[in-house]
Structures are given as C-alpha cells and as structure tokens.
Amino acid sequence: RTAHAARQLGREVRRYCKLRHPAIVHCYGVAVDAPTGGVGGGGGGGGGGDDDGEPMLVTELMGGGSLAAALSAARDAGTRLPLPTALRVLSDVASAVAHIHDERYSHGDIKPANVLLVAGIDAGTGGFAAGTPAAPHPVAKLTDMGLSLSLSPSSDEEPLYRSAAVESTGPAAYGTPAYLPPEGFRGCLRGGSGTQGALTAAAPADVWALGVVAWELLTGEVPWAGANVLQVACGVCNDGR
C-alpha cells in the first residue's frame, strides 16, 4: 500500500464514475477494511497497530459470479454455453466496450474474469438462472478499470502505477497474455496515457481481446491452454493467431 497505489485506486474510481453504463459494474466508492492490529488485536499497549486497513472498491452485487467461473463449470460438465446464452453475454460486453471507446478511453484487460454476471448460468443446461432480467437489461457487466487508459492526447490524468512485480513480467505487463494482440507484446501498450503508441494501440487491443472472449464463449476452450507467456507471445506475433 504505497501512495502510488492509493492514487491508482482513486484513478480507477474516477474512471468508473466517468464511464457509467448499464453493462459496466456500478462503483459506489472506496471503503477501508478494518485494521488487523486494532484494539484487543494483540501487539501490546491496546494501540491501533501498524496496519491501517486495506482500501477496497465498493461495487454493486453481482450474484452470478464471473464469466470465467461459468465457462470453467461448463467445461467441467463436458459442455459449452448454448449459442443464445453466449451471444447475449457477448452483446452486453460489446456494448460496454463501445461505450468506453465512445468516451475516449480503453479498458485494457478484457477477459472472462473481468466479466461479472447478474445471475448464474446453469452448468448443465447453459441457461440463465431463474430471475435473470429479460433483454434489454444486461446479464453481463464489465469490471476492473485498473488498466484503462485515456485516448485523449491532452489528458492530464494520473499515470498507471507499475509495481516492481508488474515491471518484472516483461512486455505483457499491461493486460493478460492470452488476450493481448501482437502490439501488446511488442511494447506499444506500456507507455501509458499520452504516448503515441498507447493512444494508437489501446482501443484496437480491446477489440482483439473482445474477439478472444467471443472465441472462448463459442468454443468453450481456454485460449492458449498450457502455454507459457513466451509461447503465447511467439504464437500471436509470428503466426498472427
């Protein structure tokens, strides 16, 4: 918990506020978890301890869990999501991405783990649980704005905070390797807001990632299953897949 990380959290909250949309998870603000070393928590002296508590985002409740969990459950059941279910989820995510781009931002990390469901999906039938809202109300919402970039050259927003752990991951530091386009591995997305490479590549990178999510929804397969980051990078950059 550094000052940089705190500013990054504030940056993400501001992004949620700017990008309100029915298919984007609603963020209410920030809360701080109770400290671990409070009164009666040990450490002597009855003081507050050294831990000031963990800041966290407060969002609407999404009772269906993540799309990643739903896809995994379907695979475990030896099936995949029916086409109507897959298309409805994909339509919701696509509408969220379109809104983000219309507002001149990118998302930066589109993947099933960052898609939350209003209601659960039955692993056996692939249908939505009872009580799922009917269209046009969304059943899937995009979340996690931590890697979002402004696509406006004049933006003076807080730059992305890169920890030592992120720096050590190499060229795929922004985004998730299995969902990155070739330019993501070539370093075009690393510069942050305001750099020409990021401004040019960020929105198309979202479209690429959305395509990978669509492929996963329709096939039920995990992209690049069993491959390490280097193998994914070589496959995407050299084979164009």
Note the pLDDT of residue 42: 46
Cβ atoms 53, 34 nearer than 8 A: yes
**HSE-up of residue 57 (Cα within 13 Å, Cβ side):** 22
Cβ atoms 28, 58 nearer than 8 A: yes
Note the pLDDT of residue 241: 55
What's this model's pTM, rounded to 2 decimal places?
0.81
Distance, in Å, from the CA atom of 90 to the CA atom of 99, rounded to the nearest integer, reads: 14
Element (H, E) at 10: helix 3-18
Note the pLDDT of residue 65: 94
Cα-trace Rg, the chain: 19
Distance, in Å, from the CA atom of 141 to the CA atom of 37, rounded to the nearest integer, reads: 36
Find, among 178, 170, 239, the residue nearest to 213 by Cα.
Answer: 178
**HSE-up of residue 211 (Cα within 13 Å, Cβ side):** 9
Per-residue pLDDT of the chain (241 residues; tens, 9 = 90+): 567 777 778 888 889 999 999 999 999 988 877 665 554 444 444 444 445 677 788 899 999 999 999 999 999 988 999 999 999 999 999 999 999 999 999 999 999 999 999 998 887 788 888 778 887 789 999 999 988 888 886 655 555 544 333 343 443 446 788 998 888 777 655 544 445 555 678 899 999 999 999 999 999 988 888 888 888 888 888 865 5
Element (H, E) at 211: helix 196-219
Distance, in Å, from the CA atom of 217 to the CA atom of 194, rounded to the nearest integer, reads: 33
